[in-house]
Structure 1
Amino acid sequence: MLHSMSTPVSTIRNLGPAFEASCTAAGIKDAETLRDLGPDAAYAKILATGAKPHFIGYYVLVMALQGRPWNDCKGAEKAALRKRFDALKTAHRPAPEHTLDQLLDDIGVRKP
């Protein structure tokens, strides 16, 4: 979607300059694009840049896009977000750097 005005990502409550830099690296140039993508697609784009996954960062993003305080996520809602996060993390897991790592993954020695 094209936007006539662009607003910095860091204008969204609880999303600061570091998160904005991660968005920029992922091709998410403004708050409007971030909102259009939604938290899962946006976080997937960020992970695709090689960023390390962090659950707190993910759920802060979800809460921010809902206009809620970052620490408002609790109980069953937090558990459900953890499942979504784990699925995103698994889908964007970097390829093992070494043949040994791949072998250990193939035989199930390492945790996914």
Structure 2
Amino acid sequence: EVDDFWVTHYKVRENEPFKDWGLLGVRIRDFKYGFGIEWYINSFHGQRGKRVVFSKGLRISKTKLRYSFLDCQGLAKEWELALAMEKEEFFSDIRRQVDKLNMLRRRVNAY
């Protein structure tokens, strides 16, 4: 699913002008006891060929383990918001499963 997001993202970059490029990104991060799927938004600074990219992580609901994308409305393009919300359905389920596995691990270690 993460790869599907990036395939669409790069197709837009190949075929559309810079103003239509997406700003959202998703990554999988490895942690000591599991992994995380995180969304972030990029901003580009500088001239073409010398652009610097700054990434800022989006906020996640700690209780729902899900991103709302309210932080990036008005910044992100409609096509990428729709795609991100579609992928987030799947990612939030994975986050819940990882959270349950970590809870189980903590209980076993405490036993």
TM-score normalized by the length of structure 2: 0.30
Higher share in strand: 2
Greater per-residue helix proportion: 1
